[in-house]
Amino acid sequence: MGDYGLRNESGYQHGSEAGPSTCAHRAKRGASGARDNRVIKVVCDMGCGPGQVACYLRKASLDVFGSDLSPRMLEQARQLNPEIRFDEGNMMALDLEDRALAGIAAFYAIVNIPEESLPVVFGEMERVLQPGELLLLAFHTGEEVVPVKELWGRVISMDFFLFRVSAISRHIEAAGLRD
């Protein structure tokens, strides 16, 4: 079990205080005590996109890596942040050992995941997160599905899912993560 912080685009915070600096502070605090016991504290920027959150966490002196489903996003992340490891990964089947992570930052990582798949995603996050550590999650609020036909000047076909905070809280808590 861990803690979670939720932040939506309006700045609403739920659970622990939310923001990248919170993730950095909590992981560093845990890492400093754990290093004496030879435990390595690793944080994942899940759904990392071009790696801006991983970069922030690295600058905060954390052992961080990024994970994303998109090879093109990973290519961009690696070019922008050559000192950080970026792996291709699927949040529905994480290629990580149980309790491998001291923290997860997932900023807008669930925007393309339908609500019926969220129990699997949050179950995987709970599986890989060390007890008492932090899941930091940001998402768009609402109740609709927004089809996107163009993004950054390119023709695409993608849906953005908006979620109620209460629904996300329910899914997170059902997965075994707690506030």
pLDDT at 39: 53
Instruction: Report residue 99's pLDDT band, with 50, 70 and 90 as the boundaries.
Output: very high
Residues 6+ apart with CB under 8 A from 36: none
**pLDDT greater than 50 at residue 71:** yes
All structural domains of the chain with their residue ranges: 3-174
39 versus 139: the higher-pLDDT residue is 139
Q: What is the mean pLDDT of residues 41-67?
A: 96
Q: Which of 100, 102, 5 is nearest to 60 (CA)?
A: 102
Q: Quick one: tokens of 77? A: 């992340």
DSSP letter string over 62-106?
A: -EEEEEES-HHHHHHHHHH-TTSEEEE--TTS--S-TT-EEEEEE
Q: Look at residue 108 and give its three-state secondary structure.
A: coil
140-151 pLDDT, tens per residue?
999 999 999 998
Just give the CATH number of 3-174.
3.40.50.150
Residue 28, pLDDT score: 52
Q: What is the pLDDT of residue 5?
A: 53
pLDDT in tens, 31-49: 444 343 445 589 999 999 9
Q: What is the mean pLDDT of residues 146-173?
A: 94
